[in-house]
Structure formats: C-alpha cells, structure tokens
Structure 1
Amino acid sequence: MLTVAKFGGSSLSSRQQFEKVKTIINSDLNRRVVVVSAIGRKEKSDDKVTDLLYLISAHIEHRVSYEELWENFSQRFRDLKSELGLTYDIELALQELRAEIESENLPEDYLVSRGENFTANLMADYLSFEFVDAAEVIIFNSQGEIDLEASGHHLLERLDPTKKYVIPGFYGAFENGTIRLMSRGGSDITGAILSSCLQANKYENWTDVSGVLKADPSIVENPMSTAELTYDELSELSYMGASVLHEETIYPIRALDIPLFIKNTNAPNDEGSVILRRHKKTPDLIAGISGKKNYLSINIIKGQMSSEKGFLQKTLKIFQDYSINIEHIPTGINQVGIILEAKEVENKLLSLLESLQEELKPEELTVREQISLLSIVGEVLIKDSHLTERIFSALARKNIEIEMIAQSPRSLNIILGVQDQFYQEAIRVIYDELVSKSL
C-alpha cells in the first residue's frame, strides 16, 4: 500500500505546523511519499515565500536593491531550522543561492523553485525521510509539457519502494536539467503525477480546510463541505474558481481511478472530502457552487441566421483570428451570444466588433459587460427539475436577473450569468436555497 501525501504552504508555516505534519505522517506507515509546497505565511501580513522570490527576481532585473526581501526570505528558513533543531545546512544553501544570484546568470524559474526545494529539505530532515529533488523525477518535454512516461521512468529508477521520501512540488526539469516551474498551485499537480507514476493506492491533499466546501467561505459564512465528489464534479468546480485544488490535478490520477482525499492539517480527524470516479454513496443535492466575475457577452442578431450555412463557423473563426478564448456560446434561431472573460478582449474589443460587423453583417451587435458566471455543480441537481425551479425562484425573489443559462453536455452543472454587482448575493441565495434549507 502506498499513500502520497501533499502538504500546502499553510500546513508548513511554522514549527507548530511542521509538528502537525509529522504527527499525520507517523499515524499511517503507508504515507511514504510526501510532497511539500514552499512554507506559507506565519502571519496574515507575511508575504508568501514564492511571492518574495518573484519580487527578488524583478528587483534583480531592474537592478534595484533586494536586500530587505532577501533578509525576509532567508530569515523564514533560518527560524524554522532553529526552532525545529534541524541539521540541514540552510545557511550554506542560502549562501550558494546568493552567490548564484550575484553571478547575474540565474534563471527566474530556478530562483523561484528554491522555496519548495528548501522547504522539502527541512521537512526531509525533520521526518528523517530521504530528500529527492523534483528536477530528477518530474520531467518536461521540449514543448514545456509534463512527460508522464519519462517522469514515471525516472521515478521508478530513483525511488526504492522500501524507503520514504520528501519531494518538493511546483517544479520539475527538462531532460537537460534546466528547471521548469508549473503554474501557481502546481504542487497539487506534482502530487498527482507521483501518485499516477507510482500507482499509489490513494493521494491525500492536506490543506487548511476540511474538504471541498460547497461555497467560498469569504462569501458564505461557514459553508458545509461535500463528503464525496466525482472527478468530473471537482473539475467543474475548480475550473470555475473553487480554490481548494489546482484544476489540472485530476488528470494524472483519473485514468488509474486513484482516490483523492482533501484533508485539514489543523483538524486531521475531520472527515474531509474524497474524490472518486463515480459516487459510492448517495450524492448531496449539490457538490458545490463556484464562480468568476468579469465576463462579457457579445450578442449577434441576424434574420435567418440558422439557415445561413457556415455562419457560426465564420463567427468562431473571427475570434480565433484574434486569439480569443470563448467560454460559452448560447444560441437561438436568429441570435448567438459569445461569452468570454473581459481580459480576453482587453485593448482589442473595438477592433473585434468592427471585424464582426464587416464579416457577418448582423442586424444588431451589442455587448453586455460586467457579467459573472456561477456554476452550480451536482449530478442530482440536473436530474431534478424541481431543484432548478427553486434556484430560479429564489433569485427572482431577490430581483436578481439571470443574463444567461447553460448546461454542461454531461449534465453535471448549470451555469448562470448574473451582473457582477449581484455575484456574491446570488451565491448566498443559491446556497441558502439548496443547502441551508435542505438540512
């Protein structure tokens, strides 16, 4: 049996948090591969270690002093080593990194990766596990994409199944050893890759919440968690803004049906959430509600549009020519709406509208801005028309106008568009209707 356990930055922010991690690891001998993010904020006012390293990189590029940033970064690691009584020579590691910085030849990806690297070295020392550099085992191909096959080969060569390891998240390397970062939150992906390549029995993701919450806790007070979700439900929630997990985490473990557990380092006995290929228990009414603000809708109206061959294809080609990513395309007989993030057309909206007018010759071309998209996810929800009626009625009672309605082809979620000004209230209304009233 093998469990891969990943710990986020909030689980690694202080001596007390390291102690909690050790207790968790020692409580299950199957937790033999540990993945760590960079140490997190000790206080809310602290900068994240990764942010400090990006700032140091920017200061170096603009030839501005980074002494204060460096001291802040360095002291965080010195303090941890001292408080935990570790033997890892963090002072030497910092001196070597500083020398590399001053050589003026240090790539940003390498510099930023040291947050995870130093944290993993400290954790390996603390747990008496072996440290393995992610650059040795997480391999990127020439296109900058993770090569699962090559990573698996390197992992099986490097790791002894009888030993225990700590591996830094968030980065890997090309075959020539050049460090490559993942996108922010990439330590989740590292854990998933290791779980897949090592064919783990389970993948645990330890964070500061007890599972996948049904709504954003900054919007809904003390939202409930969902005990069990499918990979597809979690993917929909993550894509539309739920911050518990990086949205790309699912793909490496899904093919092997490796269960993913979301657990709370600060409350390890809480049930948390488990993510599976399909439900084993009766699903909740909804898995969760997530959303994003700052969308816009470009609405095209033209008589007999539906009989004009290739009209939609021609429309989409225009957006492709402008390298614009489209989110949703609600359509009618003589109209089509193109929903996209406002940032996609930043500085090119007028030019795009001119091209649409010239190429399509619509009777009407309008833009609705400041739209939020809400995704209400759950297999039960879509199958029960009474529940969807309750959503619309609850929003109507609060005079929240629905700008758009869409449903995923796999019937996993309903997506609603509302004005940005109603974003938080709409989430609270839907949560109250489908969760609070159902207790």
Structure 2
Amino acid sequence: MSDNVIRFGGSHIGNQIALQNLKAWLAGSKSRNYVVVSAIPQLLDLVQFNLQQVFLQELDEEEILNEIYGFYIGKVDEQPSEVYSKLAKQLVGLLKGIGLIGDYSRALKDQVLSFSEKLSVEILSSLWNEASIIHPEDIDLRVSSDFGNATFLSVDTDKLNKLEEGVYLIPGTYGIDENNKLARTGKTAADYTAAFLTKELGVDTLKLWGLDNDFQRAKPAIIENPEIIQRLTYSEASELAYFEHYSFHPRTVEPLEHAHIPIQVLSAETAEGKVQTVINTETYIEEQIVKSVACTDDISLLKLDGPGVGLKPGILAKVTNQLNDAGLNIKSVITSQTSINFILSKENGAKALKLVHKLGFSAVTDIKVVNDVALIGIVGHGMQQAYGVSAKIFAAVANNKINVILSGSGASDLVSYLVVQESDKEKSVREVYKAFF
C-alpha cells in the first residue's frame, strides 16, 4: 500500500471545484491519504487581529463568536457542529484570559493561533464526510521549543502505519514540544508539515494540491499572464518563497532535500492531478538563465555605516544574535568594508534600530533604517557561469533611469538582489523581465 501526503490550502476550503477535484483524484485509492490542511486565510487574520486588539478594547465575546461561526455557516451552509462550537468557545476564553492578564508568552500566542487550523479542519471535515481528523497530538508529532518558528523532530510512524486505508485530515503548522506545549512552525507552514510527514513515512513524492499563488515568472499584478515555471530546484523554490507573491513555505524543502524526494504542484482545477511545477534536486538551467523576477516592498533596510566596520571583528555576529534573541528575522545581509546592510521586514525595522543602538559600536558612525524601499530578486541557477547576466540586469534598470540603492550579485549562483525606491518597484520588475523574457 503506497501512502499519499497532500497539502490542501485553507483558501480552497469551501471551493467546491478544488475539493471535488481532489476527492475525484483520490477516489478508489487503496492507500492512506494524509491531507495536511492550512488555515482559512481570513480566519487566521481574524484570530490574529483579535489577539492584537484584546489589550486595546474590551472583548466582545458574542461578536467574535458570531464571526467565527460565520466561517462555518458560509462554507458548509449549516449551523456549526458541536466540536466547532466548542473550539470557538475555547478560543474566545483564551483571548479573554489574555486580556485580563495583559500579556502573553510566545507559547500562548502559538496556542491561540493554532485554533485557526483546528477550526479550518473542522469545516473541511464537514464538507468531506468520508475523511477523519488526526491532530498532531494524536500521532506524537514532536517539534523544538522555538515558538513561532519550531522545527519538526519526530512523529509516531507506527501509529500512522497501523491506520486503515482512507483519508485523514491533519491541521498543519504545529506540533508538541518536549514539555507537551503546542509550538507552531510558522504562519502558514502546512507545506513544511506535509514535507516532514512525507519524509518520515517514506512517501516518494510530496504533492501540493494547488497554490494560492503559482510559481510564475513574475508577479501577475505587474506582468500580465506570466508563464508558470515548470522546473525548479529546492533552492530556487525556497528563494522565491521569501517573496509574498509565492505561497510556499521556505522550510518545505528541508526534510526532502537530502532524501531527494521531489515536490509536485498539482492543478486544483482538474481531477487529473495535472503537474504544473516539479521541485527537486536536479539543477535545470534554462536558456535565459533567469527563471523569475520576484519583488516585495515589505522590507526595511537597517544600515550600519563607518570606516571601521570592515576592520572591527564581531559586529555582524553581535547584531544577528541581538535580533535573533528578539525574534526578528533577517531576510538577507549585504556588506562592504564600510557598511553592513540588513534587509528586514518593514514592521521589524524600527524595532531592530532600537536594539542595535543599545550595542554601542565604536566603529559604527551611523545607524539608520530606510523604509521606502523595495527588494527585487532575480532568481535562477547558472548566473555565475553565464556571461552578461549581471550586465543585462543593471543595463535594464540604468537605461530606464532606475536608481539602485543597494545590490547583491555574485555571492550566489542562484540570485541577484536589487534594492530600489519603493516607487520604482513595478518599473524595475517590468524592465528586468523584458530583458530576459
């Protein structure tokens, strides 16, 4: 009996076409089919919003419950089930308690946010009567205690292998740590959960049933009908995952890479399981080298400047440790002898500035954050081996009078970065795209 592990995005819950096609594709399957489910995006947003608002205003329990019940009614067209109602009341009770305490730990935050997945799975279960629910607690799915960014460690495969053939729904993105506390592995990390289960169960392929945002040559809002990329390496897929117009968790490849287990992105629009994109270890270099021109304006630039920056040891290490201890993620670092530039999310720029000022570097003469910027990522293996790729990139922006604030090219065979003014983001993407496609 050959098992299947399939990631089903929360945005597909209630999408009759995507769900019916998946049911049809699995029909007659003589195997165990583990469907790992992410949260309905709007439901996750609702939980996050109320977690932030609970300190600012008195909690309206009835209003929040009605909003949560509304997701079930809207998707299933029935009154909420007993289990769903119980989960909703538990969530509201937690929010109320946090409001009274006036604070919450990272562990408690993870516990609250996990309800978005648990509630979403209950909705999907009501639409898929033949499926059963398995929670991470049921299969001893163990993770590290890095709340919000935990790493999967182990799972009770014996329990899974003893199950009969059928469909099993698993809420993604969390597991249980050594103290039996719930810890999430990321905001939308069902891909990563599915990848870990794929590897541990010895399944030969991870299948992603559609993506909210396909792997395309560029952002569709900027380039009309960009082509879907058919072949990517693990590294290329992970790089693109850091840009918001690709709905793929960067850590998905971690459990699979060394075992050479491929990932297939299947179209949710047909019942044939049509493969749109294959992600594996095979380095496939296309004629134009570049596979995608990605972008994001969700960045801020933390700049540490000074003539002694390149001479004074430990500056980079101290900053990264300080930001890591505060739970602030660094997207990338671009350095020179007189400047260290940290690319962070926009919301983390001001926080990082305060933390770094406390370190008191004598060799740093100026520390500042630049916010009105955008990051352009030109992605594709083979950049170091192919003549003229960097020249073509810089010619495309220079010929169109786009000022490059910062660039990182040559450090990797995989990606070149441009930091430009936020107002130049779309123009930069269009011009670099035209240069290669």
The TM tier, using the shorter chain, reads 0.7 to 0.9
Residues 1:31 and 1:216: Cα distance change in structure 2 (over 3 Å): farther
Whole-angstrom distance in 2 between the partners of 1:132 and 1:355: 47
Match of 1:193 in 2: 196
Match of 2:84 in 1: 94
Match of 1:5 in 2: 6
Match of 1:69 in 2: 64
2:290 is the counterpart of 1:295: no
Task: State the Cα distance separating 1:135 from its structure 2 match.
Answer: 2.3
| Conserved? CA contact 2:65–2:89, under 8 Å | no
Task: State the Cα distance separating 1:209 from its structure 2 match.
Answer: 5.3
**C-alpha RMSD over aligned residues:** 3.6
2:394 is the counterpart of 1:392: yes
| Conserved? CA contact 1:13–1:39, under 8 Å | no
Percent identity between matched residues is 19
Equivalent residue for 2:165, pick from 157, 163, 166: 163
| Conserved? CA contact 2:211–2:247, under 8 Å | no
Which amino acid is 2:121 matched to?
A: A
Q: Deviations over 1:255-288 (max 9, x none)?
A: 2111111233125665411100123685763221
Which amino acid is 1:49 matched to?
A: L
Whole-angstrom distance in 1 between the partners of 2:350 and 2:213: 38
Equivalent residue for 2:266, pick from 247, 263, 270: 263
Equivalent residue for 1:53, pick from 22, 43, 47: 47
The unaligned stretches of length 5 or more in structure 1 are 41-47, 84-88
Equivalent residue for 2:417, pick from 415, 421, 428: 415
Which amino acid is 1:53 matched to?
A: V
Residues 1:175 and 1:81: Cα distance change in structure 2 (over 3 Å): farther
Secondary structure at 2:81's aligned position in 1? helix
Task: State the Cα distance separating 1:38 from its structure 2 match.
Answer: 2.9
| Conserved? CA contact 1:395–1:430, under 8 Å | yes
The unaligned stretches of length 5 or more in structure 2 are 99-107, 325-329
Residues 1:50 and 1:366: Cα distance change in structure 2 (over 3 Å): closer
Secondary structure at 2:372's aligned position in 1? strand
| Conserved? CA contact 2:323–2:352, under 8 Å | no
Match of 1:33 in 2: 34
State which drifts further: 249-258 or 58-67: 58-67
Residues 1:288 and 1:161: Cα distance change in structure 2 (over 3 Å): farther
Whole-angstrom distance in 2 between the partners of 1:77 and 1:141: 32
Q: Deviations over 1:60-111 (max 9, x none)?
A: 665421323322321332454457xxxxx95211342355345866955445
Residues 1:298 and 1:228: Cα distance change in structure 2 (over 3 Å): same
Largest Rg, 1 or 2: 1
| Conserved? CA contact 1:22–1:127, under 8 Å | no
Match of 1:315 in 2: 315
Whole-angstrom distance in 2 between the partners of 1:194 and 1:113: 19
Match of 2:327 in 1: none
Match of 2:105 in 1: none
Whole-angstrom distance in 2 between the partners of 1:420 and 1:386: 26
2:380 is the counterpart of 1:374: no
Task: State the Cα distance separating 1:195 from its structure 2 match.
Answer: 0.9
| Conserved? CA contact 1:78–1:91, under 8 Å | no
| Conserved? CA contact 1:5–1:31, under 8 Å | no
Residues 1:396 and 1:320: Cα distance change in structure 2 (over 3 Å): closer
Residues 1:19 and 1:382: Cα distance change in structure 2 (over 3 Å): same
| Conserved? CA contact 1:211–1:263, under 8 Å | no
Residues 1:425 and 1:254: Cα distance change in structure 2 (over 3 Å): same
| Conserved? CA contact 1:217–1:223, under 8 Å | yes
Which amino acid is 2:72 matched to?
A: F
Secondary structure at 2:293's aligned position in 1? strand
Task: State the Cα distance separating 1:431 from its structure 2 match.
Answer: 1.3
| Conserved? CA contact 2:232–2:284, under 8 Å | no
Residues 1:321 and 1:200: Cα distance change in structure 2 (over 3 Å): closer
| Conserved? CA contact 2:378–2:417, under 8 Å | yes
| Conserved? CA contact 2:30–2:165, under 8 Å | no
Residues 1:66 and 1:266: Cα distance change in structure 2 (over 3 Å): farther
Match of 1:329 in 2: 334
Whole-angstrom distance in 2 between the partners of 1:257 and 1:114: 33
Match of 1:247 in 2: 250
Task: State the Cα distance separating 1:420 from its structure 2 match.
Answer: 1.9
Residues 1:135 and 1:105: Cα distance change in structure 2 (over 3 Å): farther
| Conserved? CA contact 2:229–2:291, under 8 Å | yes
| Conserved? CA contact 1:135–1:171, under 8 Å | no
State which drifts further: 70-79 or 315-324: 315-324
Residues 1:397 and 1:108: Cα distance change in structure 2 (over 3 Å): closer
Which amino acid is 1:184 matched to?
A: K
| Conserved? CA contact 2:5–2:198, under 8 Å | yes
